């Protein structure tokens, strides 16, 4: 029942840059609600990676960056490293559902 | 350091009621600065918000689960609980408890428990 759409997978070689898109609608991202991103390493709980569209919590490397435009958002990982191999989820709020919504998730594979 | 820990039965039969508890340490669930909630993740699938509560007593539920969900709170034990009735195999998932800051428009989850797997099977 994911309301936000992400590509199922992206991949890149170490050192490369990859981007993950998150497409929503006029009741969530397009309504002005912020987009947040989470990183989920295998077998662990999601970890907040980007908040408020483009802000990094303390301790998150500046290789991770986020942006938002219209009804979509993007997460970019530059200088890809082996430890970035994980699942990534976007998240926002939806006024029609009156609740929090997550993206479908993207598996990042470091080749 | 804030810690959230989920606990409860890992195996249920169809039609039973799922009951989980989240114990919070290093912070107070009676603080006005945060909401607290539950999120689940079926094996190999994405995340789904189940519901949240605020210290004032307000509760908020995912419309798709609202008829079956109840979140309750025990401030004295710094715990909050989830009950999900009439479970089916579709409710098999890892269940996480998480914290949400209460600032204006801060609709994010900044701390998560490690999660607990609940399997529904006859």
Q: Give the pLDDT confidence of A12-41 residue by residue, as tens digits.
A: 999 999 999 999 999 999 999 999 999 999
Q: Is B38 on the interface with A (CB under 8 A)?
A: no
Given A34, A38, A97, which is nearest B63 (Cβ)? Answer: A97
Phi, psi (degrees; rounded to nearest 5) at A53:
75, -40
The predicted structure's pLDDT at residue A1: 60
The whole-angstrom distance between A16's CA and the closest CA on chain B is 26
For the residues B40-60, what does the mean pLDDT come to? 95
Contacting residues of B for A45, CB less than 8 Å apart: 96, 112-115
Supply B23's token pair: 């114990």
Q: Quick one: pLDDT band at residue A56, thresholds 50, 70, 90? A: very high
Q: Quick one: pLDDT band at residue B105, thresholds 50, 70, 90? A: confident
Asked if the Cβ–Cβ distance from A102 to B109 is below 8 Å, we say no
Chain segment A69-107, per-residue pLDDT in tens: 999 999 999 999 999 999 999 999 999 999 999 999 999
Q: Are B108 and B85 in contact (CB under 8 A)?
A: no
Beta pairing class for B93-101 and B34-41? antiparallel
Q: Is B63 on the interface with A (CB under 8 A)?
A: yes
C-alpha span between A50 and A109 (Å, rounded): 19
The predicted structure's pLDDT at residue B103: 83
Q: Are B115 and B20 in contact (CB under 8 A)?
A: no
What is the average pLDDT value for chain A, to the nearest integer?
A: 96
The whole-angstrom distance between B76's CA and the closest CA on chain A is 27
The whole-angstrom distance between A88's CA and the closest CA on chain B is 10
Chain segment A60-76, per-residue pLDDT in tens: 999 999 999 999 999 99
For the residues B12-18, what does the mean pLDDT come to? 97
Optimal mutation site among B1, B41, B47, B113, interface A, most CBs of chain A within 10 A: B47
C-alpha span between B23 and B101 (Å, rounded): 18
Contacting residues of B for A46, CB less than 8 Å apart: 47, 96, 109, 112
Phi, psi (degrees; rounded to nearest 5) at A29:
-60, -45
Of residues B69, B62, B73, the one with CA closest to residue B85? B69
Contacting residues of A for B63, CB less than 8 Å apart: 97-99
Q: Are A39 and A20 in contact (CB under 8 A)?
A: no
For the residues B54-82, what does the mean pLDDT come to? 96
Q: Quick one: pLDDT band at residue A2, thresholds 50, 70, 90? A: confident
The predicted structure's pLDDT at residue B106: 81
Asked if the Cβ–Cβ distance from B110 to A51 is below 8 Å, we say yes
Q: Are A65 and A54 in contact (CB under 8 A)?
A: yes
Supply A9's token pair: 């997978």
At residue B105, the 3 state secondary structure works out as coil
Q: Is B114 on the interface with A (CB under 8 A)?
A: yes
Contacting residues of A for B113, CB less than 8 Å apart: 45
Instruction: List, as one string, the DSSP characters of A44-88.
Output: S--EEEEBTTTBPPTT--TTEEEEEETTEEEEEE-S--GGG-EEE
Q: Quick one: pLDDT band at residue A9, thresholds 50, 70, 90? A: very high
For the residues B15-44, what does the mean pLDDT come to? 96
């Amino acid at each position: 029942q994911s309301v936000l759409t992400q590509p199922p997978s992206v991949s890149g070689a170490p050192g490369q840059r990859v981007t993950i898109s998150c497409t929503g609608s006029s009741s969530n991202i397009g309504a002005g609600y912020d987009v947040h991103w989470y990183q989920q390493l295998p077998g662990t709980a999601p970890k907040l990676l980007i908040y408020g569209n483009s802000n990094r919590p303390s301790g998150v490397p500046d290789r991770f960056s986020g942006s938002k435009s219209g009804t979509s958002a993007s997460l970019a990982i530059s200088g890809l490293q082996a430890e970035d191999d994980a699942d990534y989820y976007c998240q926002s709020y939806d006024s029609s559902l009156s609740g929090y919504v997550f993206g479908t998730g993207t598996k990042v594979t470091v080749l | 350091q804030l810690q959230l820990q989920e606990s409860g039965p890992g195996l249920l039969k169809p039609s039973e009621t799922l009951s989980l508890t989240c114990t919070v340490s290093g912070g107070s669930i009676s603080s006005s600065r945060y909401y607290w909630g539950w999120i689940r993740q079926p094996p190999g699938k994405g995340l789904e918000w189940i519901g949240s509560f605020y210290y004032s007593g307000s509760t908020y539920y995912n419309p798709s689960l609202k008829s079956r969900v109840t979140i309750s709170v025990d401030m004295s034990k710094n715990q909050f609980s989830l009950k999900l009735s009439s479970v089916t195999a579709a409710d098999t998932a890892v269940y996480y408890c998480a914290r949400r800051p209460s600032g204006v428009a801060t609709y994010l989850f900044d701390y998560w428990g490690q999660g607990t797997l609940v399997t529904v099977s006859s």
